[in-house]
Amino acid sequence: MLETPEAVRQWARERQRLGQRIALVPTMGFLHEGHVSLMHEARARAEAVAVSIFVNPTQFGPKEDLTRYPRDLEGDSKKCEAAGVSVIYAPQPATVYPPGYQTYVNVENASKGMDGDRRPGHFRGVATVVTKLLALFRPDVAIFGEKDYQQLQVITALARDLELGVEIVGMPTKREADGLAMSSRNSYLSPGDRQRAVALSKGLFAAQAAAKAGETEVAKLIDLARAPLVAAEIREEYLEVRAVGSLAPLTRLENGVQARMLMAAFLGTTRLIDNLSLP
């Protein structure tokens, strides 16, 4: 396990000297099968796989769940080993942001709206820590999950705009048997809330089915996705349809324009997000 930037650079230089491709899977730990699927994809794409485990304080707001975010480094290490991961990078916050730290990365357009509006500063923190990780490891490819879809667009943009020379790969969301998107925050849910939480994916799949059947009016698709939330008495934060890539808001599905429906909702104090493609 690596804990310092110097150790990471030494590890990466050695892999490069050996002519090995490097794949990076950035995480905040408390790993589940969704994370493991990213590791397997990384193993298929590179000889050397690195997983970072770091609960990044700069992407949490003052009233968010930084202190209670679930952590299990020992369990995470076992999952990484079983998945064939080459090395884990698990630094302390003071290592990533030492005294006097003052440099941050801001991705302008992809950070606007949705989580960008509801969580001020969140994507600045995400973009900064990911840029630091990419600069340290210099990977050939970095693997992320599509559940955090807006985050994926932010990271894709920063890698392109800063010419970091890394391929950013988004992998489909892994779901529980009942459809709920896998998330570390699912561990916060009470048994009753866990049963209600399936309303998020239920609504998304209903909207997707309607779009496949020919419905093009976004307002009607949103109503379909909202109905299960209302029935389960879940507090919606946002429910929107955006164009893939640009994240431009859409009012109608059109031929040639790939679309994504994205939502965030609260069950008590637990905030969950999910998204699904619309044909």
Residues of the chain with CATH 3.40.50.620: 5-171
Query: What's the confidence (pLDDT) of residue 175?
Result: 98
SS3 category, 115: helix
Number of Cβ within 10 Å of residue 49's Cβ equals 27
What's 184-278's CATH class?
alpha beta
The span from the CA of 231 to the CA of 41, in Å, is 37
The span from the CA of 86 to the CA of 77, in Å, is 11
pTM to 2 decimal places: 0.95
Beta pairing partners, 111: none
The span from the CA of 39 to the CA of 236, in Å, is 32
The span from the CA of 90 to the CA of 8, in Å, is 10
The span from the CA of 229 to the CA of 246, in Å, is 27
Active-site option among 32, 35, 40, 122 = 35
Classify domain 5-171 at the CATH topology level: Rossmann fold (3.40.50)
HSE (CB half, 13 Å, CA atoms) of 164? 25
Residues of the chain with CATH 3.30.1300.10: 184-278
Residue 189: band (very low, low, confident or very high) from pLDDT cuts 50, 70, 90:
very high
pLDDT tens per residue, range 201-210 = 999 999 999 9
Q: Helix crossing, 218-231 with 191-212: angle to 10°?
A: 160
pLDDT tens per residue, range 237-266 = 999 999 998 999 999 999 889 999 999 999
Residue 63: band (very low, low, confident or very high) from pLDDT cuts 50, 70, 90:
confident
pLDDT tens per residue, range 152-167 = 999 999 999 999 999 9
Following CA atoms 242, 244, 248, 253 in sequence, which dihedral angle do they give, to the nearest 10 degrees? -60
Is position 35 annotated as part of the catalytic site? Answer: yes
